[in-house]
Amino acid sequence: MQHVFPLAYSASPLSTVDEPSIPTVNNGNDSPSHVILFYVNGRRYQLPSPPPTLLLAAFLRDTLRLTGTKIGCGEGGCGACTVMLGSYDRRTEKVTFQAINACLRPICSMDGFAIWTVEGLTKAGGEVTPEGEHVHPIQSRLVAAGGTQCGFCTPGWCMAMYGLVSQRQQEGAEGGTEGGLRKEEVERAFAGNLCRCTGYRPILEAFKSLAEGEGVKEGGKERGKGEGEDEEDEEEGWVKVDCSMGRGEGGALVDLEDMCTSLPPSLPPSLPSPPPRRIPNSTGTGGSSTSEAAVQAVLNACDILLARLQPFLSPPDPPPSSPPTWSAAVQAAAAEGVNLAAEGWFAPPTDRGAPFDYFVYCSAFSEVELDLLTGEVTIAASTIVYDAGRSLNPQVDIGQIEGAFVQGLGYYLTEEVEFDPEGRLLTNGTWHYKPPGVNDIPLHFDVSLLPPLSAAVEAGTREQRRSRTKVEKVGQGEEKKEKEGLILSSKATGEPPFMLASSAYFGVVAAIREGKREWGQGGECTSGETLAKEVPLAISATIKKRIEAIDVPVEAFVL
Ligand code: FES
Ligand code: FES
């Protein structure tokens, strides 16, 4: 019953196997038992007579409290529960690794296997963050590329990649080669993992870089900022805005100097670093407003601090010959016992009827290829140009745009919602409802942000950029509210780009029209309206609807 795995090479996950006293997990069943024995993250467990219905995912989460393994669909369709399985074949004396769905595997089928979860991956990691946390290179690459937003899918992706890398390393060790992984393999390997946030591109980019030993381009720095801006930002000092919800808003960074417009120029503020505190959200996250609401709360906190510091920045009597430096003012305030910590609070206006009355501008171009016989669509390229104003964090904004676009692809092309005559939802699982997967995204996917305004123009409009709702009393108990500007010139990126995926839908419609023309159906098309009449294709334009719209004549199938 007891398999001892050979330590094939030092980097092998098998090297984490130890021989502690064997924990016995009590199943509360006193009947004669068949004991199964297996490893989890290098630790050996024995389990007498496990119930045949007990699944590995539930055992890991509920019994071992290894809750990094998530359960999404529970039916093998999303990959959230992915763990790595190691097995040893006595006959061939070979070790193999593979990623499996823990939601589908009964624990009683685990006898003699070794299982690794994301907790084991973290322990196996050779990198240590500045906060002292151990991470595996797979995880740090994913973070650097912006490949995680809400994070629910992330352990599954990491373990799927770990399974792939471990197997290649094992094969390399057995064959005396380096056991490398090619980018093309990475592209094909993750069809079983879904992500609803990122749009997949950064995940693939991170894993491909790992496959070929390249560095990772950090999305925000590479794609959203001008040369030299990083260094400048470092000098100016940053404030991290932390939110508890949403598709990535928590990473929004804002420039302190920009917020505290009356700080002395060119003096980097020296901020003490108390442990971060969390305050409840002032409103639900949604409507692409979370980042800006959080930043507005930071602005409000900065206003409080500036008001407290004002007597030290501009001492009244007698006025000094030169204004005190920022650090001198802060030190003087601290010596006087001034509270230098402040909590900001912002609740968005609740005007009914016009909750989001500002506009974003963006455009998308998509090139699609349609197989007229099967109805299958390949999106060859999508190019998006987006006006995010002055982006609070380009990496987050680009991630939001890509994620929203790919969600839109699902809405326009695959995610059909069906109900039975009694109103019961029929498309209630991954076998019937089809969100886009990693192979459905554009082969070439390029998102760029319009460059922000020049520094001179920005300086001139700084005050207008500070968003406030000006409230004026205009009568007994009456108030007039007026919106002023945007938060630091930023513009929302969370949900508006969803609609840009219509570019792919219209590409499909145009391709169907061209196909019909080949068969002598349809005439010249002059406008979008004519196109819609000529090719009625309801949304979601699923493969079934596409085939019906193409209406292939039977002769087309004759060779
Ligand atoms: S929870 Fe296992 S595949 Fe979705
Ligand atoms: S980050 Fe993938 S589902 Fe949210």
Please compute, for residue 79, the number of CA atoms within 13 A of its CA located in the half-sphere on the CB side. Answer: 23
So what's the pLDDT on residue 6? 31
Distance 478 CA to ligand 2 centre (A): 45
The runs of H, that is alpha helices, within 134-255 are: 137-144, 154-175, 183-189, 201-211, 219-224, 229-236
d(CA 32, CA 247): 50
Tokens 């009964």 belong to 106
Residues 295 and 191 in one domain: no
d(CA 465, CA 331): 30
Q: Which segment, 195-209, 459-473, 544-558, is predicted with the most confidence on average?
A: 195-209
Tokens 């890398």 belong to 165
Distance 73 CA to ligand 2 centre (A): 14
Give the atom of ligand 1 at the shortest distance from the alpha carbon of 104.
2
Residues 174 and 302 in one domain: no
Determine whether the shortest distance from the Cβ of 198 to ligand 2 is under 6 A: yes
330 band by pLDDT with thresholds 50, 70 and 90? confident
In a domain, 227, yes or no: no
In a domain, 387, yes or no: yes
Residues 53 and 151 in one domain: yes
Least confident piece of the model among 38-42, 157-161, 173-177: 173-177
Which of 153, 158, 161 to probe ligand 2 with, by most ligand atoms within 8 A of CB? Answer: 153
Is the model's pLDDT at 257 over the cut of 50?
Answer: no
Distance 324 CA to ligand 2 centre (A): 48
Question: Which protein residues are within 6 Å of ligand 1, measured from CB?
Answer: 71-74, 76-81, 101, 103
Please compute, for residue 248, the number of CA atoms within 13 A of its CA located in the half-sphere on the CB side. Answer: 28
In a domain, 462, yes or no: no
In a domain, 231, yes or no: no
Domain that holds residue 137: 1-217
351 band by pLDDT with thresholds 50, 70 and 90? low
**What integer is the mean pLDDT of 312-327?**
80
Is the model's pLDDT at 66 over the cut of 90?
Answer: yes
Counting residues of the chain whose pLDDT is more than 90, the rounded percentage is 41
So what's the pLDDT on residue 215? 43
Q: 434-466: per-residue pLDDT in tens?
A: 999 999 999 999 999 988 766 555 555 544 444
Higher pLDDT pick, 525 / 481: 525
Please compute, for residue 282, the number of CA atoms within 13 A of its CA located in the half-sphere on the CB side. Answer: 18
So what's the pLDDT on residue 434? 94
Residues 52 and 123 in one domain: yes
Q: What's the chain's average pLDDT?
A: 78
Residue 409 belongs to domain with CATH number: 3.30.365.10
Q: Token digits for 300?
A: 């409000």
Surface-to-core class of residue 71, CB atoms within 10 Å of its CB (0-12 exposed, 13-18 middle, 19+ buried): middle
Distance 9 CA to ligand 2 centre (A): 33
Q: Which long-range CB contacts under 8 A does 226-234 form with residues at least 24 apart?
A: 226/451
Determine whether the shortest distance from the Cβ of 108 to ligand 2 is under 6 A: no
Q: Residue with the nearest Cα to atom 2 of ligand 2?
A: 195
Neighbours of 198 (CB within 10 A): 26
Distance 301 CA to ligand 2 centre (A): 31
Q: Residue with the nearest Cα to atom 3 of ligand 1?
A: 76
Which of 73, 190, 196, 434 to probe ligand 1 with, by most ligand atoms within 8 A of CB? Answer: 73
In a domain, 70, yes or no: yes
In a domain, 222, yes or no: no
Q: Which segment, 222-236, 376-390, 446-460, is predicted with the most confidence on average?
A: 376-390
Determine whether the shortest distance from the Cβ of 80 to ligand 2 is under 6 A: no
Reduce the DSSP state of residue 262 to 3 states and report it: coil
- CB 67 within 8 Å of CB 57: no
Residues 57 and 190 in one domain: yes
Determine whether the shortest distance from the Cβ of 245 to ligand 2 is under 6 A: no
Which of 159, 198, 201, 396 to probe ligand 2 with, by most ligand atoms within 8 A of CB? Answer: 198
Residue 18 belongs to domain with CATH number: 3.10.20.30
d(CA 416, CA 432): 9
So what's the pLDDT on residue 246? 43
Residues 380 and 508 in one domain: yes
Ligand nearest to the CA of 56: 1
Please state, in angstroms and as integers, the Cα–Cα distance from residue 519 to each residue in 515, 523, 557, following that order. Answer: 7, 11, 12
So what's the pLDDT on residue 21? 47
Residues 102 and 247 in one domain: no
Indicate left, alpha or beta for 511 from its phi (over 0: left) and psi (-120 to 50: alpha).
alpha
In a domain, 465, yes or no: no
Is the model's pLDDT at 248 over the cut of 50?
Answer: no
Residues 53 and 86 in one domain: yes
**What integer is the mean pLDDT of 470-499?**
68
Distance 447 CA to ligand 1 centre (A): 30
Q: 274-306: per-residue pLDDT in tens?
A: 555 666 777 777 777 777 777 778 888 888 888
Least confident piece of the model among 244-258, 308-322, 475-489, 535-549: 244-258
Q: Token digits for 436?
A: 């886009």
d(CA 464, CA 462): 5
196 band by pLDDT with thresholds 50, 70 and 90? very high
Which of 69, 101, 153, 433 to probe ligand 1 with, by most ligand atoms within 8 A of CB? Answer: 101
Residues 7 and 51 in one domain: yes
Is the model's pLDDT at 313 over the cut of 60?
Answer: yes
Determine whether the shortest distance from the Cβ of 193 to ligand 2 is under 6 A: no
**What integer is the mean pLDDT of 8-19?**
36
Residues in the chain: 559
d(CA 80, CA 82): 6
Distance 59 CA to ligand 1 centre (A): 14
Q: Please name the residues in contact with 472: beta carbons below 8 A apart, sequence gap of 6 or more.
A: 479, 480, 482
Residues 247 and 185 in one domain: no
- CB 301 within 8 Å of CB 343: yes
Last residue of a domain, one of 335, 353, 386: 335
Determine whether the shortest distance from the Cβ of 500 to ligand 2 is under 6 A: no
Is the model's pLDDT at 551 over the cut of 70?
Answer: yes
515 band by pLDDT with thresholds 50, 70 and 90? confident
Residues 277 and 420 in one domain: no
Q: Residue with the nearest Cα to atom 4 of ligand 2?
A: 150
Last residue of a domain, one of 183, 217, 251: 217
Q: Please name the residues in contact with 29: beta carbons below 8 A apart, sequence gap of 6 or more.
A: 48, 49, 51
In a domain, 248, yes or no: yes
Residue 351: what are its φ and ψ, rounded to 5°?
-55, 125
- CB 487 within 8 Å of CB 299: yes
d(CA 230, CA 227): 8
Considering its fold, how many domains does the chain have in total? Answer: 3
Is the model's pLDDT at 32 over the cut of 60?
Answer: no
Is the model's pLDDT at 77 over the cut of 90?
Answer: yes
Q: Which segment, 319-333, 335-349, 378-392, 483-497, is predicted with the most confidence on average?
A: 378-392
> CA 490: distance to chain centroid?
20
Is the model's pLDDT at 384 over the cut of 80?
Answer: yes
Residues 181 and 72 in one domain: yes
554 band by pLDDT with thresholds 50, 70 and 90? confident
Higher pLDDT pick, 1 / 136: 136
Distance 151 CA to ligand 2 centre (A): 5
Angle between the N-to-C axes of helices 502-518 and 543-550, in degrees from 0 to 180, rounded to the nearest 10: 30
**What integer is the mean pLDDT of 527-548?**
84
Residue 79: what are its φ and ψ, rounded to 5°?
80, 5
